[in-house]
Amino acid sequence: HELLPEGSSEVVPMDGFHFDDIVLNRRGLRSRKGAPDTFDFGGFETLLKRIRAGEPDIAIPVFDRSMELSRAAAAIVDAETKFILVEGNYLLLDEEPLSRLA
């Protein structure tokens, strides 16, 4: 990321799509936080479609480890970004709905 020209790359982390603890508690999933079913896959998939479409100035959420929550619109991916690294533990998981990303 630091070796590329300024503004030419952006990291898009799946971690920004963790469901909030309030949602996890309501669904009885708090003890499983970080498991595939504790992420907002629909939101993540929509974000990736918007990036592929070249939309300008797409706000992305970033997970804040110090607060243990996702911060909405914590980074921006613009249409001029040349290199986008999408990262996350389950991106290659061969199970629906994540397998749709392959």
Query: What values do phi and psi take at 41, rounded to 5?
Result: -65, -40
Q: Hey, what domains does the chain have and what are their CATH numbers? A: 12-101 (3.40.50.300)
Residue 97: predicted pLDDT: 85
Confidence check: pLDDT of 13 > 80? yes
Residue 82: predicted pLDDT: 87
State the virtual CA torsion across 35, 99, 72, 70 in degrees, nearest 10.
10
Pairing mode, if any, of strands 83-87 and 9-13? parallel
Residue-wise pLDDT tens digits, 14-69: 999 999 999 999 999 999 999 999 999 999 999 999 999 999 999 999 999 999 89
State the Cα–Cα distance between residues 56 and 77, nearest whole angstrom.
7
Pick the more confident residue, 27 or 4: 27
Question: At 52, is the secondary structure helix, strand, or coil?
Answer: helix
In 10 A of CB 2, how many CB atoms?
Answer: 5
